[in-house]
Structure 1
Amino acid sequence: MQEIGVETFGAVAKIEKIAFSLEQSISQDFEKETAMAEELSEELILEILSWLPVTSLIRFRCVSKTWKFLISNPYLVKMHLERSARNPEFLLSLVTHRCKRKLFLPGIGSSPFIARFGSLPFLIQNPAPSLDRIFRCPEHYNCVIGSCNGLLSLHDSLYTKEYEEHWVFFWNPATKICSRPSPRLRLNFGFVLPDGVEAGVLYSVHFGFVYDDWRDSYKVLAMVSDPSTYQTSVWVYSMNNICWRRSSMISMGFSTLDHNGCFVNGTVNWIGYPCFVNGTVNWKGYPCKGEWNHEQKILSYDLNNDTCICLSLPKLVPYDRGYASMSVSNGYLCIFVTMLAGLVVLASKDVRDETSWSRLISVSYETLNVIHGKHMLSIIGMWGDLLLLTCLEFGNPSNVIIIFNSKENKVERIEDYNKEFLIDIFSYVPSLISPIM
């Protein structure tokens, strides 16, 4: 493949001139403009196109049948993704305060959210959402459960007195293409909820959205903890399949506060508390048996061999820790640990190798300018050397995003999220990947 250089950038100008003529639809010399492209080799055109934004490529599809074919070329789609991945953006998932109640009570309707894409410098300079950065999904949904190669996986659910159902959509916001809903994953209660008890959540269900490069398939994983048996199973849905497949089961319950599983090095991981069987107790018709383990563990599912194991936290985790959460940064699985004095961040590329963990960051609450016990911190994740947290002061409805630069030991604070409630942040790469395969 040719290296991009002066000749290539000159060719880009020619291609943009063609697109401008098309969009204006008033040029009488469009055929002459198109002829410019014929001076370039197909290889060079593909190289040029791979550097352009998705919005431009969508417009260029209309230039001719040849160009439409070129832009749909799997090689170009892959090469463009590789280029885009070098400068990832992120998705900021927000919901208005008046809709918060809807978001966390399944079965009473979907709640709208605002998803804003942009680079971290853009967020720092423009903390308030603007209309040109707002995206709304074309279908009903409860939340975004993951972002992978430019695709978002969206979740919706239904709850009755006898069962609950979960299903997903795949959406490319850059191309505005959305898939049909997946088949429904039905989880039967095994009994009918008693009179006077409304339909609601019984199972503990948490998701992960990944690309399985070994099988060239996009997958959604549902980690389901059954309260009636205290067993945890992992269900897998591959894009365009006709059903969910139960892949693995372990003999314990598992409860986690993290929204989504973290994918790294072929594994999807959740952090939480296991529950082991220890007798049977019935309360208001809800079967329940087991004893919760107060020590956090990592539930790790291996995509390659469809196995699920429970791992201890690394020995580097301090003994005086509070709740630990996880995220992925630069290909590493990161564990964020809150303590009485501050935060500690650990990282590993192989979660199943206990010796692979190392300490990345240790920062005090004083440095972050927050007061332990007065402010509630939620760790969103890391991008490069930047640690992102949300801070909510008790009694104050305003959200604050704290950005800590570990390299420069510098803190940035972004205020004024008075009307929106921050749900999650995902790494996002605009791409041509189709959610319909």
Structure 2
Amino acid sequence: MMPRHSPERRRHGSLSSPASAATGACAPLPEELIFDVLSRVPVKSACRFRCASRGWHALISDQAFLAAHRSRHAEPLLVTITSSPHHAGGGRDLRLMDMDGNVVRVTKGAGGLTLLSTSMDELVGVAEVSSSRVIDPATGEVLAYSSPKQVFGFYIMFGFGRAIPSGAYKMVRLVNNQTFEVFTLGDKNTRWRRSKLPPIRVNGCSQVTANGVMYFMVSRQLDDDGLLRFDLESEEWKPAIKGPPIASSPEEWWNDAQSVRIAELNGFLCVIQSEMQASTNVWLRADDSWIKAYSIPAAPSSYYYMPLRVTHDGGKLIFYCFFHGQGHLLRAYDPATNTCTTLRRLDDSTEKVGLCSLHLDRFVLNKI
């Protein structure tokens, strides 16, 4: 907490509440109390409070306040793609909200079939069947867009992530396993560049970026070549790696009794292994080895468990899943008690759910 008469505080002018400043009917609140209270409100409320008075606008725009707000709101924001039946010809919106369900921003028509962002990114990538785009969710601005490719009958796969250590955001696309291209946001050339093809043919795989490396799952059984790795900084393919030790029989795979997919969790690559009517296991890749971090008991009439975030206070796992008759639910799994708690029910129009690492300073800098 900053001293009452620090230079940083004095230059904000009067921080009294708007009502007392206008009427003079009551004594002004202590500056430390206003600072403390405002630093605890959600992002959307803080943006609105900037309009209350010049003093509050200066306070909320100050770097010390932004740092305090960030420390108290460390969790990323939810990003969802929702169907929009009111749009002409249909469409999808991109919705940004906090973990309490408060909607921060809705960008009409910005959604897509696939959500490519991760919890470590400030930007969001979305993809359609043959095109992709990158959106700044703080403003709704489309920063990059790939025109639809006229490739009837071809398979196009998109990826999006941030290189390390440069921090450059990059999009990739693989067209029918014949062309692999990379696009760098902010590049003066503003064009797609051809890169080497994957060392193994990719068929309908899932992909995710974690710690500067884009991973492609090319085999549900995650054998020796089950996970391809593309380094976004060097734009080179790294040796493929084997997935976690998931024991299963060919009959289980054939009957879809077990499903496997990959995701990013707190900056780490993770593998989600769902066993029908049993449990969902979450494996984390750390120090070149796999750790079985969570085993979530399956609830009746539920499926598609997708981890989103591990909380900073106690290691609870925030995830979402689908329940018959209830739709998408945001839930928390507590490994200490081996129980799940429903946090909230997501809107019926929700199609995709992800995270975005946005904080108040991004909205203030963009004057939202």
Same fold (TM over 0.5): yes
Aligned to 1:286: none
Matches within 5 A, 1:97-112: 110-112=91-93
CA contact (8 A) 1:54 1:432 kept: no
Aligned to 1:214: 165
CA contact (8 A) 2:115 2:352 kept: no
Structure 1 residue 257: deviation in Å? 5.6
Q: Residue 345 of structure 1 aligns to a residue in which SS?
A: strand
Change in Cα spacing, 1:435 to 1:144, as seen in structure 2 (3 Å) is farther
Change in Cα spacing, 1:166 to 1:430, as seen in structure 2 (3 Å) is same
Structure 1 residue 368: deviation in Å? 3.4
CA contact (8 A) 2:118 2:354 kept: no
Does the alignment pair 1:263 with 2:210?
Answer: yes
Structure 2 residue runs of 5 or longer lacking an equivalent are 32-37
Deviations 1:13-45 (A, max 9, x none): 984844856x999699xxxx9xxx9xxxxxxxx
CA contact (8 A) 2:330 2:343 kept: yes
Structure 1 residue 232: deviation in Å? 6.0
For residues 195 and 360 of structure 2, the distance between their equivalents in structure 1, rounded to whole angstroms, comes to 30
Does the alignment pair 1:326 with 2:262?
Answer: yes
For residues 85 and 148 of structure 2, the distance between their equivalents in structure 1, rounded to whole angstroms, comes to 30
Q: TM-score, normalised by structure 1?
A: 0.60
Aligned to 1:369: 299
Aligned to 1:184: 146
AA aligned to 2:310 is: W
Q: Residue 317 of structure 1 aligns to a residue in which SS?
A: coil
Greater Rg, structure 1 or structure 2? 1
CA contact (8 A) 1:232 1:251 kept: no
Q: Residue 135 of structure 1 aligns to a residue in which SS?
A: strand
Aligned to 1:335: 271
Q: How many residues align?
A: 341
Structure 1 residue 91: deviation in Å? 0.7
AA aligned to 1:409 is: N
Does the alignment pair 1:297 with 2:226?
Answer: yes
CA contact (8 A) 1:233 1:246 kept: yes
Q: Residue 432 of structure 1 aligns to a residue in which SS?
A: helix
Does the alignment pair 1:117 with 2:97?
Answer: yes
CA root-mean-square deviation: 4.9
CA contact (8 A) 2:119 2:354 kept: no
AA aligned to 2:231 is: D
Change in Cα spacing, 1:58 to 1:400, as seen in structure 2 (3 Å) is closer
CA contact (8 A) 1:19 1:63 kept: no
Aligned to 1:95: 82
Corresponding residue to 2:340 among 373, 394, 411: 411
Structure 1 residue 110: deviation in Å? 3.0
Structure 1 residue 213: deviation in Å? 5.0
Aligned to 2:123: 152
Structure 1 residue 348: deviation in Å? 1.7
For residues 338 and 61 of structure 2, the distance between their equivalents in structure 1, rounded to whole angstroms, comes to 44
Structure 1 residue runs of 5 or longer lacking an equivalent are 38-48, 103-107, 123-128, 194-200, 275-291
Aligned to 2:103: 133
Structure 1 residue 236: deviation in Å? 2.7
Structure 1 residue 312: deviation in Å? 3.8
Change in Cα spacing, 1:226 to 1:96, as seen in structure 2 (3 Å) is closer
AA aligned to 1:225 is: L
CA contact (8 A) 1:400 1:413 kept: yes
AA aligned to 2:132 is: H
For residues 418 and 53 of structure 1, the distance between their equivalents in structure 2, rounded to whole angstroms, comes to 20
Q: Residue 87 of structure 1 aligns to a residue in which SS?
A: coil
Aligned to 1:344: 281
Does the alignment pair 1:245 with 2:197?
Answer: no
Q: Which has the higher helix share?
A: 1
Does the alignment pair 1:389 with 2:289?
Answer: no
For residues 150 and 20 of structure 1, the distance between their equivalents in structure 2, rounded to whole angstroms, comes to 35
CA contact (8 A) 1:54 1:430 kept: yes
Q: TM-score, normalised by structure 2?
A: 0.69
